[in-house]
Structure 1
Amino acid sequence: MSASAFSLSMAVPVEGFRLLSGEPVIGGAREMKGLDHSFCGHCMSWVFTRFPEVMGEIINVRSTMLEDTSELEPFLETCTAEKLDWVTTPAKHSFEHFPTPEEFPALIEEYSTR
């Protein structure tokens, strides 16, 4: 779904997210119940994901969709068990798979203070 060595995104509180135009289309991998990948209905680009059962009131926005990413830096990386050998990031937290639901609250709290 990322067509890259990276699948870049950023967590945004629901109250800080607003869709300006269009109606998203739900699709993509749906292996987790309640995981909704939203795509642009026109070009089918992956725009954001909601998975409230894991992250609560957070929307995972594809940071590649933003006009200005100059202030962003990696906070955590996931699925490193499947990464390409040459891929490295300066992310503070690294997970071979995904953090457990129990780990998410502390990660979100730390991320929100940045």
Structure 2
Amino acid sequence: MTSLLRLETRYGVWEESRPFRPSRVYFGTEEKPYRYFDKTWWSDARDRSEREPVKLHTHEGQAWWRFKGDVYVEGSGLSAQDVEALALQLRATKKKHGPDNTPPQGRH
């Protein structure tokens, strides 16, 4: 079964420090930026993403969202409200079952 929303483990938001120049914030991998963010936009988006999902990037039918410090990816054209509901469900499952999503073992 394919999930509508999954936690992104490869892509994220990075700040690139540059000597004698202002640092830059981008979305991508640590080695390869895909999209640079205006610092003002990023500051607002980072704050808003603690309350509601914020779309960071779209490419070839996929969208990456930041919500409560995590980045999620989906390819179904979900709304921010859908992303929030699914992300909260994923967080609850992770909390209940642990990071590898396996239920705790009972005593035998």
Bin of the TM-score, shorter chain as denominator length: 0.3 to 0.5
Which TM-score applies when normalising by structure 2? 0.32
Larger of the two Rg values belongs to structure: 2
Higher strand proportion: 2
TM-score computed with the length of structure 1 as normaliser: 0.31
Per residue, is there more helix in 1 or in 2? 2
